[in-house]
Amino acid sequence: METERIGTDAASLARAAACLRSGGLVAFPTETVYGLGARADDAAAVRRIFEAKGRPADNPVIVHVAGAAAARALAAKWPARAEALAAAFWPGPLTLVVARDRTRVPDVVAAGGPTVALRCPAHPVAQALLRATGLPLAAPSANRSTSISPTTADHVLKTLAGRIDLVVDGGPTGVGPGLFGIESTIVDVTVAGGEMVVLRHGAIGLEELARFGSVVDRADRVTAQGERAQAPGALARHYAPVARLRVVAADRVAVEVADARAAARRVAVVTRVEVPAGADLVERLPADPAGYAAGLYAALHRVDDAGCDDVLVVAVPESPGWAAVRDRLRRAAVPGVL
């Protein structure tokens, strides 16, 4: 299969929609990262996502919908909390885990489980495809399993060229007002007590959710690979570059760089503050969480492209606004085999 890169003009989007309708695989931009889409009502099409990504079958995928009405149609139960959160944050980077209507959502989407994760993306290209197909679209991040998430069409092609039909090139994701370059916040609203259980940090922070009731944070439980967890994809080595990643204090950079160089290792530094010279590559990111998040994955892709052995990421602030960034860095830094 040859993967074609297409644009976002009306004819290209019509082609992408036709491909999706006939069971094909189309990568497209969302406001977080590129997703790898397939029609969610077709088990065979969704199985192709798992094959293309090399994704374990026990890791369910998120279903993208055009709006709350389409979400309700896939849920066996749609709690008042889901309605309130959807009204407040959709379209946007919030994924809601609700009870699955087994007659409408195939087992493969949910990895056989009782729930389904639903998200209404804000990106105009994602919205256009949802409207043009008139279908819910299953779409995990458009990368091979365990590699860095894609924020450009080039990143998608790096690991999925030859494995998918089309990539709709809508430019870099996460750049602009209301956009965020790391994956959506995932909230489970199936809990009987009515509390919101956060399974993955993202652009929508805990404080924002807390306006709608009590919040339980389960995102910090880094799970061992293979262990069945509540958000099974949130594995320890998810989002990891090939280079060995460590989070270090700014005042440790000089000595760590020197150590790496002494060991003849190529070393990169990813930072939002000024650091001493000496590394083989310095990726300077914006000092605000949204700007940093928008640039993080692209920086890590460049670190790998440059063939670095080590990447030192200067620690980010402990404040709530940085929770999603801290979460991805923590996961990427966990030592262990891929």
Q: Which one of 32, 59, 95, 141 is in contact with Mg ion (CB under 5 A)?
A: 141
For ligand TXA, which residue of 91, 172, 205, 232 counts as binding (CB under 6 A)? 232
What is the total count of residues that contact ligand TXA (CB under 6 A)?
Answer: 30
CA dihedral 14, 19, 179, 198 (to 10 degrees): 140
- In the complex, least distance from residue 67 CB atom to Mg ion, rounded to whole angstroms: 24
- When asked if residue 62 is in the footprint of ligand TXA (CB under 6 A), the reply is yes
| Binding window for Mg ion (CB under 5 A); candidates: 17-25, 138-146, 193-201, 273-281 | 138-146
Told to check if 165 binds ligand TXA by CB under 6 A, we report no
Q: Which tokens hold the place of 207?
A: 């404080």
What is the Cα gyration radius of the chain?
A: 19
Nearer to ligand TXA, 269 or 293 (CB): 293
- Sequence letter at residue 112: G
Residue list 130-149, contact with ligand TXA (CB under 6 A) = 139-141
* Residue 294 binding ligand TXA, by CB under 6 A: no
Does position 152 bind ligand TXA by CB under 6 A?
no
Please choose which of Mg ion, ligand TXA, none residue 245 contacts, taking the beta carbon within 5 to 8 angstroms, the exact cut-off set by kind: none
Q: Which of 242, 239, 299, 292 is nearest to 269 (CA)?
A: 299
Residue 74 CA to residue 36 CA, distance in Å, equals 20
Which CB atom, from 231 or from 269, has the smaller least distance to ligand TXA?
A: 231
**Beta partners for 13?**
none
What is the separation of C-alpha 21 from the centre of its chain, rounded to a whole number of angstroms? 24
DSSP H or E run through 158: helix 153-160
**Nearest residue to the partner ligand TXA, using Cβ:** 233
CB 292 within 8 A of CB 316: yes
d(CA 317, CA 327): 12
* Bridge partner residues of 34 (DSSP): 29
186 binds, among ligand TXA, Mg ion, none (CB under 5 to 8 A by kind): ligand TXA
Chain residues that interact with ligand TXA, rule: CB under 6 A: 30, 32-33, 35, 59-62, 93, 95, 97, 110, 113, 115-117, 119, 121, 139-141, 183-184, 186, 199, 230-234
